[in-house]
Amino acid sequence: DIAMTQSPDSLAVSLGERATINCKSSQSVLYSSNKKNYLAWYQQKPGQPPKLLIYWASTRESGVPDRFSGSGSGTDFTLTISSLQAEDVAVYYCQQYYSTRTFGQGTKVEIK
């Protein structure tokens, strides 16, 4: 099984400032034949199902604001919110789909 570890577990960021969440997989999720990283990011607000933000590590889902960006390759990945808005308060999860599916433990983003 591929384990996913996120850091930090929580962070508080001022409105308009940058938020950065890290995700590390226990083995590479880069598929050599197509050079794609099998890594997604989700946002979950209270009482709602998760919402897909990013897939293939850096491709934004349709309708997701461009302040959300994903980067990284292999085993180390980052979700960046370039200018935090009030509506971005949520828990964020990374997930690998290279080998079955595994989620990170989540990172709670709050306003400072």
Partner 1 sequence: QVQLQESGPGLVKPSETLSLTCTVSGGSISSYYWSWIRQPPGKGLEWIGYIYYSGSTNYNPSLKSRVTISVDTSKNQFSLKMTSVTAADTAVYYCARDPNALDIWGQGTMVTVSS
Cis peptide before 8 (omega within 30 of 0): yes
Residues 20, 28, 51, 78: which binds partner 1 (CB under 8 A)? 51
Nearest residue (CB) to partner 1, 1 versus 87: 1
Give yes or no for residue 71 binding partner 1 (CB under 8 A). no
Instruction: Please compute Rg for the chain using Cα positions.
Output: 13
Binding to partner 1, residues 93-112 (CB under 8 A): 93, 95, 97, 100-106
10 Å CB burial of residue 53 (0-12, 13-18, 19+) is buried
Question: Which tokens is 38 given?
Answer: 């099998």
Q: Does 49 bind partner 1 (CB under 8 A)?
A: yes
List contacts with partner 1 (CB under 8 A).
1, 38, 40, 42, 44, 48-52, 55-56, 61, 93, 95, 97, 100-106
